[in-house]
Structure 1
Amino acid sequence: MVTLVLRALCPGCSAGGVLATVVGMLELAQDPIALTAALVDIESPSHHEAAIADQIEQALKGIDGVEVFRMHHTVMARTHRGLGSRVILAGHIDTVPIAENVPSQLIDGTLHGCGSVDMKSGMACYLHAFATLANAENLQHDLTLICYEAEEVAATYNGLAKLQRSHPEWLEGDLALLGEPSGAMIEAGCQGSVRLKVRAHGVRAHSARSWLGDNAMHKLSPVIARIAEYSAREVEVDGCMYHEGLNIVHCESGVATNTIPDEAWMYVNFRFAPDRTLDEAMAHMLGVLDLPEGVDYEVSDAVPGARPGLDQPAAQALLRATGGNFRAKYGWTDVARFAELGVPAVNFGPGDPSFAHKKDEQCPVHMITTVSEQLLQYLTNPASA
């Protein structure tokens, strides 16, 4: 059982607090604002999504004529109405650790609580759309809903990645929408990312006799200088402007204050535009670093970017439904997994991403309403088929 807090539907609720509550099972067809509050109130930090997955699975099984499938704490559902095209609605159900920000609170038209931005508001819009339209006469596309676990932790645990490996047929479609917070507008594509651990090796010695040693930190200094002097590229890809970045994000060395260090290392991160392949990005990065003798590297993380795909017909119809507003996505999201499979994908969800993971995480409720209404409009508009 969960508590459904209907703050958004109560007169005078803008001052905050709970004016009315209804105790019952998760109701997907309720107003997306209330549904967001209900999802936030189910604590689901990464690796602890069982309760929210149980509630979502039970609610989806109550919809006539849809296929429901569960893999650990990832829950999926899809229609089979033969509508000629398929739209995927995907989002993660885990959050970062709770920071005394559950249960949710509605204050002056803004919903506060862990996951209110990243990304239970987006999931509420998607769950609501699926439940509302699965059997609606005016639905123009078959729907696949994916509610996946463990996005906020290491990629090895990512539910969508596991699904991609074991059941890729669930990722087949004409367009995929990811409910990541995007300010209630389309954020297209995403940057790729390469992170290298660059390590220098030297010889330890007393600093009073430094010539007997080989300072590992000094070996890194020309590499650090090249990174500091690097001029990042800005490039337009499919109408979206991406700004690349090459940065040292962590650096360590030192044995004692009177000792020449025999090891120094740093993490270097390259965020690259999606017109580069992963191999091209790696080659460019190593060319810039130009590692000298005695300095080597290992790959800590490497993920490709995703082109916006806004030139695809299905994406064009979504653009029209959302008023034509879009921008490039900075950072990496799971849209890249769909791009690898040749499925155009965009980020589309409520909330300002700068509030994600913060203790005061919050989402203006008007963004939830906007995303929900535009999503329903798109999925029922004959022009989108």
Structure 2
Amino acid sequence: QLDYNWLWGALTAAQLREQPQKALVAKLSFAIDQNANNDRKATVSFGVERNDYFLSSYVSAAASSGRNTGSLIDEQINTLTGTDDIGRFTQLQTVQQLTPITTKPYGVGTGLRFGRFFDGLALRATAGLDYEDGAQGAHQARLSLALDKYLGRRGWSVTGQAEHSEISDAFGQTQNDDQVSVLLRYEFGGQGAFVPTNQVAGPAAVRRALRSPISVHPRTVNVYRSRQGVPTTITTVGTRQYLDRTPIAVADSFVVAANSTGTLIDVLANDSDPDGQALQITAVSTPAHGSAQIVGNMVMYMPTAGFVGADSFSYTVSDPSGLSATAAVGISVQPVVVNNPPDAKNDSASTSANTPITIAVLANDTDADGDALTITAVTPSTAGGSTQITPDGRVT
């Protein structure tokens, strides 16, 4: 801090000697203040002081740029609901907005100081009002009152201070603060003495350096936080929690006889529900070569008369909550095959006594459908002989 003080006014030296209480001292100062984080401000102040009062004002401005102090995280958690191929679900969504934060001294500041001296009581009363303004609506105002009581001539004094502050940051938050303090101080040093070189009688004038313990501006470099740059948004979603899943319908294939009057098909036999709920057939389409209808929890299919070949239809299965799935059913309509009985002819053979004989009894037998014939049973001979089927399809 640089100070320049001078006597202000039109009083002559003789008048000042006769009426020193009317001396008016003007004070001009320029200061640079810096805190531990290298935040700085510059202040110019001007004031006047007399033996019974003082008055001063100041203007300050930031003397350093902002510094990056991280990011402001604004987090919002939402619960999403929806339906996909599996079913209805809920899902947590987290949206984080990261806003770069810069910390800087207030851009401008101004303030007033007023004090009153009461010499008879060895008392000084001081009042101060300060205001600092920053970007994005950040500002602070402070009202301070102080009372100094000097305790005799031994350097002791006691000070009572009260301060009220209102601070609003760039994020719309307001903070009020009230502080009260009592200080006990001791000033080292004597009163000083003046000894003239020659013995004289009458008033004497002494030129001495002026000093003032009164702070004409706040020395603290106050800072505020503000947004800097473009926010970054990060969105994350959690695992889907299914409330009700869609049934699983699996395609089917069946064989049906031509000209049949109706065949019940259990299309639900290979279908399932992930939640274990009971399934019901709620719709069935019309096949191209027949008819299909829901009967209970099955489908009855009837082909068109005389049709032979491939046919198909689809069906819809639903759970109790209404979620559904659809699958196709393939039908193979085949003609009815009639199996006619074989035609067995009588056989005859001769042999000598006590001599076995093997007879090809199938040699003269036939089958109308051309199917291969096998011997399935023989009876004993009427004369008490034995009979048996040989591995090659004959009778011994």
Q: TM-score when scaled to structure 1?
A: 0.17
Q: Higher relative contact order at CA 8 Å, sep ≥6: structure 1 or structure 2? A: 1
Tell me which protein shows more strand as a share of its residues: 2
Q: Which has the larger radius of gyration?
A: 2
Tell me which protein shows more helix as a share of its residues: 1
